[in-house]
């Protein structure tokens, strides 16, 4: 499985299981059509890890180590604007 396949699989899973918003899922699924992903392997790996620990209510606990919508959007912005 390629890195992009992993990204798509995790994003779809989190959309179904953890309420990842459809707008973010759409951005992720359209990455390959809209962006040259060469030399962005580290950012894609970071995005996969963020998705794995995604929590719609991130930041609501004292020791919360989950990742929220803004973190994911920031990484997506870095991927698409480099």
CA atoms within 13 A on the CB side of 11: 26
pLDDT in tens, 28-80: 999 988 888 989 999 999 999 999 999 888 766 554 678 999 999 999 999 99
pLDDT for res 60: 60
pTM, two decimal places: 0.90
What is d(CA 44, CA 59) in angstroms, rounded to the nearest whole number?
Answer: 23
pLDDT in tens, 11-31: 999 999 999 999 999 999 999
42-to-30, 47, 78 alpha-carbon distances in Å: 18, 9, 11
């Amino acid at each position: 499985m390629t890195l992009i396949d992993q990204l798509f699989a995790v994003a779809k899973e989190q959309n179904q299981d953890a309420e990842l918003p459809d707008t973010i899922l759409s951005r992720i699924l359209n990455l390959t059509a809209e962006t040259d992903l060469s030399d962005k392997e580290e950012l894609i790996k970071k995005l996969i890890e963020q998705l794995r620990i995604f929590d719609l209510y991130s930041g609501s606990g004292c020791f919360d180590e989950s990742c929220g919508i803004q973190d994911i959007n920031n990484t997506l912005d870095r991927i698409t604007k480099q």
